[in-house]
Structure 1
């Protein structure tokens, strides 16, 4: 049933083992009821138990990560079938002689399975399924080894079998094999749970990475409006304390720059302005690409005067980069909580346009007062300082 929902090589091998054991016990049941069928049912019983041991070992090896030879089943089935047919011819068709051989073979199979499973002990020390399987394999090995002197003395000395002991050992045998199967099922479920947990962790990491990529503007690497929506939702939900200062940043004359020098120059201007602003603000401040030529800067727990001080060097820094002159206008205002944030954006936008008009007036006054004697670069520096 587990193999239908959790396909694992170890689980498939163990399932085949338990089916082989069921067939072996069915053949033994027929032999006990109809003794005349011993020539057929006893070899079938022996072959089924040999295959049970083989599959248990293979499942343990698979679970521990050991390499198992391919196509080995094609070789082992004829060999075990031949052994099952030949042994009764040698030792006779009495159950006690057959069971003596089976006890030795199964004890060895359980010990080999324990060895095959041993690499898993180091990496899964606290696994309930592994503890159950290890305990069951050890106790089953000891139990089947205990049958050797009992049945051996019965055959050699013709002493009566200790029926009370055999009844108790049969019940113990049943419990231990159930524990072995239960441990294998738990191991597979634990492995599936670890795989699901690892898959979920990978999905969470991928989701976080895709979300981070989806919240960035591809051109400037500033945050986009989707990121602002997430920040606003977090603030509304109370997961983020919101107060501080906002600034609207607008590139002066971007349309004319695109018309005169092409869109590549316009893109370069956007990148330069975004980088210049990010260079002067703090790591925790958020810069958003707000529109075509506008950026929104949110500085948490920062007063407007300090943000003005930081932004004051942006235009000066822009003069030293690029082949085309780029300047930006700023509008700064304070907000006290999340309800005030959206209103603060409008106030900052109005302040930015007012600042641009003031700067334009100063430029005209400066140009009128200075004439044409001042070098162009000096004029630009003077305007940027204003």
Structure 2
């Protein structure tokens, strides 16, 4: 079989390869709208477009042009040279854009000047190679060194990505690039035999030349879908990151809605939604209402910032002394609700009294003397979750009874 004439299998293969490129170009065009800032995917998509145009030129040259031109030989005609130049330029630009896309994916490289320069050099190289010889087999030989170099670069770059960046898609794409590099080494030998002075091609070389379009098609389809896998994995990572950020934002909003921003205690809305009441609703227990008696004096004498500091100190003291299953809710300005599952009222009252008595006086920046925590409190037992609101009312009433029994007036400070 003459190496100068494409076999029927080769002609059909070129058409089939063109169909495969059209499929890849369509797929990348559909996904490109979702690519966002992923410039590597745009570069890879442009590479497939350049390859499709190059193969279109070959299909036109060998399938359509002979039916339009009546000359006995098309060799040397300007139409043929123009189509070969178009083919060679498209193939070289395809290779350059593959390298650009890989560099963009691996290291975020993006230089329009460099890309434009590489494309311009590809076109110049295409023109020079067509000027030397317009035979399609010679053009393939001229492509081979650049193709092997770029495929090796892409393969090594993707297979040696840092561990956090490695994925199934990047590994598969790297392996396919390596297979394409090996195939183009074979092409260089098979298509270059006449230039190497080998007149009679071996059967293997003849088969490679005749069926190279099918070999290209298989690897190009594998490469295209491996690139899509890379894109989908990248998009999934972005979605996962977005979900993590949303979860953090949701947690912050939830905390802002259910927690008192001043003291960090749960707020009244949290109680209404049942937050922190799981253990209490499953058993009996005690609720306690606590009202800080000397907060007004602290606010009036030392400022509201000192009052805020005192409230934070009260909550921190209570939280450190209570059990993990107990809950503290800020019920009002200086009122707090304690929910203690499985506890009895007498034990709770004794516990609150001992906590307040043991608390160290708080030295405020704006106060001359340290301030003790002075509070009124009351407790009531609940038998089930349905009885919680009634128990709170009873504990509130007990708290006011305790307040009236106190000898120290509410407006009088207690200092250490």
Q: Give the TM-score of the pair, scaled to structure 2.
A: 0.76
Q: Could you tell me which residue of structure 2 aligns to residue 24 of structure 1? A: 54
How far apart in 1 are the matches of 2:43 and 2:337? Answer: 62
Q: Could you tell me which residue of structure 1 aligns to residue 271 of structure 2? A: 228
Q: Secondary structure at the match of 2:161?
A: helix
| Coordinate RMSD, CA, aligned | 3.3
Q: Could you tell me which residue of structure 2 aligns to residue 72 of structure 1? A: 114
Determine if the alignment matches structure 1 residue 47 to structure 2 residue 89.
yes
- 8 A Cα contact 1:249 1:294, kept in partner: yes
State the 1:50 CA deviation: 0.8
Q: Could you tell me which residue of structure 2 aligns to residue 218 of structure 1? A: 261
Among 240, 249, 252, the residue aligned to 2:293: 252
Larger RCO (alpha carbons 8 Å, 6+ apart)? 2
How far apart in 1 are the matches of 2:201 and 2:399? Answer: 107
Q: Could you tell me which residue of structure 1 aligns to residue 123 of structure 2? A: 81
* Alignment CA distance shift 1:52-1:330 (3 Å): same
How far apart in 2 are the matches of 1:229 and 1:290? Answer: 11
* Alignment CA distance shift 1:266-1:114 (3 Å): closer
Q: Could you tell me which residue of structure 2 aligns to residue 170 of structure 1? A: 213
How far apart in 2 are the matches of 1:2 and 1:269? Answer: 59
Aligned residues: 363
- 8 A Cα contact 1:217 1:224, kept in partner: yes
State the 1:262 CA deviation: 6.7
* Alignment CA distance shift 1:288-1:29 (3 Å): same
Q: Could you tell me which residue of structure 1 aligns to residue 398 of structure 2? A: 351
How far apart in 1 are the matches of 2:323 and 2:34? Answer: 52
How far apart in 2 are the matches of 1:198 and 1:212? Answer: 21
- 8 A Cα contact 2:283 2:341, kept in partner: yes
Q: Secondary structure at the match of 1:120?
A: coil
Among 159, 163, 168, the residue aligned to 1:118: 159
Among 159, 164, 184, the residue aligned to 2:227: 184
How far apart in 2 are the matches of 1:325 and 1:68? Answer: 65
Question: Cα deviations across residues 233-253 of structure 1 (Å, max 9, x unaligned)?
Answer: 6757x9974543211002337
Q: Secondary structure at the match of 1:58?
A: helix
Consecutive unaligned residues of structure 1, counting only runs of 5 or more, are 365-375
- 8 A Cα contact 1:143 1:169, kept in partner: no
- 8 A Cα contact 1:276 1:318, kept in partner: yes
- 8 A Cα contact 1:47 1:80, kept in partner: yes
How far apart in 2 are the matches of 1:134 and 1:39? Answer: 35
State the 1:204 CA deviation: 0.5
* Alignment CA distance shift 1:342-1:52 (3 Å): same
How far apart in 1 are the matches of 2:309 and 2:148? Answer: 77
Q: Could you tell me which residue of structure 1 aligns to residue 190 of structure 2? A: 150
Question: Cα deviations across residues 129-180 of structure 1 (Å, max 9, x unaligned)?
Answer: 2233122112111112112222222453332574544454432220110110
Q: Secondary structure at the match of 1:71?
A: helix
Q: Secondary structure at the match of 1:27?
A: helix
How far apart in 2 are the matches of 1:158 and 1:348? Answer: 107
How far apart in 2 are the matches of 1:81 and 1:148? Answer: 21
* Alignment CA distance shift 1:202-1:266 (3 Å): closer
Q: Give the TM-score of the pair, scaled to structure 1.
A: 0.81
Q: Secondary structure at the match of 1:75?
A: helix
* Alignment CA distance shift 1:181-1:241 (3 Å): farther
Question: Cα deviations across residues 265-321 of structure 1 (Å, max 9, x unaligned)?
Answer: 655654454344334323543221101331101123434343223211344357834
- 8 A Cα contact 2:159 2:170, kept in partner: no
* Alignment CA distance shift 1:18-1:350 (3 Å): same
- 8 A Cα contact 1:234 1:240, kept in partner: no
Question: Cα deviations across residues 41-76 of structure 1 (Å, max 9, x unaligned)?
Answer: 111111111111111111111111253545102322
Q: Could you tell me which residue of structure 2 aligns to residue 14 of structure 1? A: 44
Determine if the alignment matches structure 1 residue 38 to structure 2 residue 80.
yes
Q: Could you tell me which residue of structure 1 aligns to residue 170 of structure 2? A: 130
The structure that is helix-richer by fraction is 1
Determine if the alignment matches structure 1 residue 296 to structure 2 residue 337.
yes
